[in-house]
Amino acid sequence: MTQATILNPSGNGAASPATTARDGEPPAARAVAELRRWGLLLAGLVVFSTGLTMMIRADLGLSPWDVLHDAISGLTLLTFGQVVVLLSLVVVGIAWTLGVRPGPATVVNSILVGVVTDAMLASGILDGLSSGPLLPRLLVLVAGISAIALGTATYITANLGAGPRDGLMLGIARRSARSAGGARTAIEATVLIGGVVLGGSIGLGTAVFVVAIGPAINAAFRLFGMEPARRNRSLMARIRNFRTKEETAE
């Protein structure tokens, strides 16, 4: 996959120990492992979409990106999910121009979340919740954020490629000499401001999401026996690799 070189901190294109170990496995075992990874990816994206649907139904404010999605949907004839797909593909294209090439899983991520979210909204699940008492809406909001965190950890655990926004974060960090966290903060702030200006749904849920999503994802990683700090080091290794290749090319 195109992701292999990106994940190698040395920048020499050599196969990683994990890849070498998989190459030594019987074909049947590799096929089963690959199916398991794709199963994790698809399950994670469905769980993520479920959490997104719950936040929409709670109607207490959305995440920064979804504030922008909601705003564009309200100004056009596109559904919420169609906007998610369209912007995700645009983000993938921008990240590609910044040197982060997408893999098949990146494209699946870009399309499936929007499609599944639209299907859930069309099914009428939790329809009418927004006009109900505040307490059930708060509970659904918290459950939605938890589902987004669990879904995120699940599809990252599959290790089949970065999501669209992860790729954009890496690309901007490479070009601007920002840290991965600094790049992500700048992206989230920009899309939130754009969404608010265009009339997207912002509220208590937006603030809760910004504060809670990091710890929630860390907790979800621990369910899979993964240490969140290792994920951060992996991102920084990718950025260092990008910069090394860029300096070599110059």
Q: Above 90 in pLDDT, residue 227?
A: no
Please check the confidence at residue 140 and state whether its pLDDT lies above 80. yes
CB-based contact 81:121 (threshold 8 Å): yes
Q: Kindly tell me if the per-residue pLDDT of 21 is higher than 50.
A: no
Over residues 75-113, the pLDDT tens digits come to: 999 999 999 999 999 999 999 998 888 888 888 999 999
pLDDT for the residue numbered 24: 65
Write the DSSP symbol of residue 76.
S
User: Is 77 among the domain residues?
Assistant: yes
pLDDT of residue 196: 94
Question: And the tokens for 135?
Answer: 């307490």
Is 189's pLDDT higher than 60?
A: yes
Structure tokens, 117: 């979210």
Query: Is 11 a domain residue?
Result: no
Q: How many domains does the chain have?
A: 1
pLDDT score, position 2: 31
Residue 230 in this model has a pLDDT that exceeds 50:
no
Which domain covers residue 223, as residue numbers? 16-249
Tell me the C-alpha distance between 111 and 83, whole Å. 10
Q: What is the 3-state secondary structure (H, E, C) of 22-52?
A: HHCCCHHHHHHHHHHHHHHHHHHHHHHHHHH
User: Which tokens is 163 given?
Assistant: 């999501």
The answer to the question of residue 8 being in a domain is no
Residues in the chain, overall count: 250
CA angle 165/168/172 to nearest 5° reads 145
Average predicted confidence (pLDDT) for the chain:
81
pLDDT score, position 26:
82
> Who contacts 84 (Cβ-Cβ below 8 Å, separation ≥6)?
69, 113, 114, 117
In a domain? residue 2: no
What is the per-residue pLDDT across 104-119, written as a single tens digit (0 to 9) for each? 888 899 999 999 999 9
For 182-202, what is the mean pLDDT? Answer: 88
> Does the residue 4 lie in any domain?
no
Domain for residue 1, yes or no?
A: no
Neighbours of 137 (CB within 10 A): 21
Q: Is 3 within the bounds of a domain? A: no
pLDDT digits (tens, 9 = 90+) for 231-242: 444 555 555 555
pTM higher than the cut 0.85: no
Residues 6+ apart with CB under 8 A from 161: 1, 3, 102, 103, 104, 105, 106, 109
Quick check: is 10 in a domain?
A: no
* 49-66: pLDDT as tens digits: 999 999 999 999 999 999
| CB atoms inside a 10 Å sphere around CB 143 | 15
pLDDT: which is higher, 184 or 4 = 184
